[in-house]
Amino acid sequence: MELVLAGGKGVLGLAEDGVFRLTWAPGSVLEAADAVESVLAVTKISAGRLLPLLIDISDVKVSAGARNHFLESRFVCAVALVGESNVDRVVAAWMRRGNDCPQGYFTSRREALAWLAGRAACEVPGPDAGPSLVCAAPPAVATP
User: Would you state the pLDDT for residue 96?
Assistant: 75
pLDDT in tens, 28-55: 999 999 999 999 999 999 988 899 999 9
Which residues in the chain show pLDDT less than 70? 97-99, 120-144
User: Would you state the pLDDT for residue 126?
Assistant: 52
Distance CA 18, CA 117 (A): 9
User: Would you state the pLDDT for residue 123?
Assistant: 54
- As a dihedral over the C-alpha atoms of residue 41, residue 23, residue 2, residue 50, rounded to 10 degrees, the angle is -40
Provide the whole-model pTM: 0.81
Classify strands 49-56 and 20-24 as parallel, antiparallel or unpaired.
Answer: parallel
Residue type, 120: A
Residue type, 41: A
Query: What SS3 state is found at 8?
Result: helix
Burial class (CB within 10 angstroms; exposed 0-12, middle 13-18, buried 19+) of 62: buried
Residue type, 92: A
User: Would you state the pLDDT for residue 58?
Assistant: 95
